[in-house]
Structure 1
């Protein structure tokens, strides 16, 4: 490009995404057996992708419908989907929905929802004491790695609050509350609605009440990331407890909702953004929706239809809804069973340390507390793939590989202890 005013030669190569780089190494590994506990995607008892029975039935009904087509959706998405999705997270009898204080738009799954939320908050959220007017989003330490990229690319500042105590393998509630109290008034706190990623450790109801009350007292804004509702405990109601309590406490909040995990619709990118207002105002509702639509129009024009239509069928058809709730129990029950199987195998092997935290956590992931060096040895010596932080996708375990994985963990832990 010599002599040209336009040059791209200054662009540097970034490292591969940790998760997808891990998956690429796993796919290239020719050893057998090998086990992937990296990317969070549900697998059945044979380690294969599982299409939910409710999804299969919904797809059959969808393509048989004479009105089925591939036309554009409205900018804000499929209304029958977004309205039903709001009821899933907030409850059929939600007072906020009845009072028309909930504004919902369709997004590209949870990541797209968080991105839209970040753009919206950067532009319009003014309740901040920051001198430059740019709000800070506080995320847990640790959190899903993509949270930082999403918010920083939207122009927001990020900070962290204590969450995981590696010594006790419990929530650092005191540190969490202290950060809420010390943060500038009007800060944004990102909260995992359930199945905290990566730790799998959620606050108890009592702890949630303390967290939400501190957020309310300090005038902060709550941003809920809900990626695993129903997938965590098998109960849609239980997994939405914190979100619904925040609404009950009249906290201003925004919800980023994904159906990737709980419907197994990973590649279809089905999600929603819900803004829950504390006051009734038709004029404000219209203004907010107009601005959200402008963001969507400028970025993706309008959201994809297929996945939304499938999930809409499930949420609005009583028979399919019942089947979906059974599917959620099937997935959550198998994952809980695998947690106990792994813990029990490690105990039987007399692996150094206490492994009860594996069964005390919930959802797709477990924060194993394995070190980066131990994770590296698992991959290199045993062909067992985990994220470098020690996060393991329990969904990748099954009755055929759990003993192999436990023996691999046992070896690397004993090897580490031998060097002490």
Structure 2
């Protein structure tokens, strides 16, 4: 290995979303619009503290809680509630094959999952949707450099919809036993395109037949449709199809296991608290204790133990029936606002005669729209109109409201 002076290391670029936010903040143009950063904004395009979260903060303040270390695996009360939210009370309370650990948001959960898979499964490939959240690639590059990253078709630019046939064909022809496949549980980032329930069942059948290890990334539960149970449907269906007691321990088509990387940052508006969980599901006739011990060891080496405040907030909200009902209304409000600006943008583009079919904007779900704009068009939007979005055409809809949607629509028409 060649020794280098650390002062000679090349400067690496910032991730695009962070670089865009920095450029937006430096821009002095009065009508600039930030459609790049994946965070919720209210109708004035300002940060919004969920009322249920604010009330939980006040409750904790009045309790005068301490600030001691958590166990390595995290806050057990938080993990119980996070698991119930994700899997539903029935599965969460009865399934002994689910092990849960608190993580540094969804990113930390994904990184821990990649480390564990690389060290213990030794997969040949990890299959990642084309396109995907860009951090998936970096996480696997850093945590599992010996695992080959392979793309499976996901977005069909012709229909601006899901390429299910291409996805299934790639997994059928290229995936091997114990290979890993990353799936977005809801509100796919960046496309906003989710499989239907029947399509999810077809994907699960291929996973079971090919004996793949699934890593679900669940970053927007409740935020996508406004209903937390509906947004967790795919995860619960996979659990039912892959890991129920009806499956025989000698089954030749049982996958090795499944991870769910759960972020509570976005659906609680706790971005800076970095709160998340990792759930490992293994076949019910096996013991999870050994696998959980290896995960705990990885956490110890990385962060020693997770942070406390965000976990307390989530537990306080979900453990109180009245607060939980308020939180459900909060996420419904967020989801409804995003749906409303989707309809506004589509209507405005059609009203001003923007070239093309814009129905996909309203058909997609979640915070993002995969607009279909080219790299050159996105660059022109930034340079001429001070509108910032990712170069792949992903638009964060929370940056839109009634006062700027006409300006954005007109700018899009100008660059087509």
Q: Does 1:80 align with 2:71?
A: no
Paired residues for 1:121-270 under 5 Å = 121-125=117-121, 133-155=122-144, 156-182=147-173, 183-251=175-243, 252-270=257-275
Aligned partner of 1:416 in structure 2 is: none
Question: In the alignment, which residue of structure 1 is the partner of 2:115?
Answer: 119
Q: Contact 1:99/1:280 (CA < 8 Å) preserved in 2?
A: no
Give the whole-Å Cα distance in 2 for the aligned partners of 1:223 and 1:316: 27
| Segments of 4+ moved more than 3 angstroms | none
Provide the rounded CA distance (Å) in 1 between the counterparts of 2:162 and 2:95: 35
Q: 2:249 matched to which residue of 1?
A: none
Residue in structure 1 matched with residue 18 of structure 2 by the alignment: 20
Tell me the C-alpha RMSD between the 2 structures.
1.2
Q: 1:186 offset after TM fit, Å? A: 2.2
2: distance between equivalents of 1:316 and 1:242? 24
Q: 2:321 aligns with which of 295, 300, 318?
A: 318
Q: Tell me what 1:417 maps to.
A: none
Mark the CA change 1:6 to 1:31 in structure 2 (over 3 Å): closer, same or farther.
closer
Structure 1, unmatched stretches of 5+, are: 126-132, 414-420
Q: What displacement does 1:9 show?
A: 4.4
Deviation at 1:10, TM superposition (A): 4.3
How far 1:134 sits from its partner (Å)?
A: 4.2
Unaligned runs of 5+ in 2: 244-256
Deviations 1:137-180 (A, max 9, x none): 11100000110000111123311100001111011111000011
Residues 6-15 or 271-280, more deviating: 6-15
DSSP 3-state at the match of 2:288: helix
Q: Partners in 2 of 1:388 and 1:168 — Cα distance?
A: 20
1:60-103 CA deviation, whole Å, 9 max, x = no partner?
Answer: 1111114x111111110000001110111101111x64131110
Please state if 1:349 is matched with 2:347. Answer: no
Shift in Å, 1:352: 0.4
TM-score, normalised to structure 1's length?
0.93
CA distance 1:371–1:75, change in 2 (3 Å): same
Q: Which whole-Å CA distance do the structure 2 matches of 1:166 and 1:97 have between them?
A: 42
- Alpha-carbon separation, structure 1, partners of 2:30 and 2:327: 35
Structure 1 residue 204, shift from structure 2 partner: 0.5
Name the structure 1 match of 2:410.
Answer: 407
TM-score (norm 2): 0.94
* Alignment match, 1:381: 384
Residue aligned with 1:249, SS: helix
CA deviations over 1:173-218 (Å, ceiling 9, x no partner)? 1100001111122211100000000000000111111111111111
SS in 2 for 1:143: coil
2:60 aligns with 62
Q: Which of 106, 110, 133 is equivalent to 2:106?
A: 110
Whole-Å Cα distance in 2 between the matches of residues 395 and 265 of structure 1? 16
Which string of whole-angstrom CA distances, capped at 9 and with x for unpartnered residues, describes residues 80-134 of structure 1?
Answer: 001110111101111x641311100000000000001111111111xxxxxxx44
SS in 2 for 1:366: strand
Of 290, 295, 298, 2:293 maps to 290
Hey, what's the Cα distance between the residues in 2 that align with 1:157 and 1:57? 46
Q: CA deviation at 1:135?
A: 3.4
Give distance in 1, aligned partners of 2:285 and 2:209: 22
Question: Equivalent residue of 1:225, what SS?
Answer: strand
**Which stretch of the first structure deviates more once superposed, 188-197 or 15-24?**
15-24
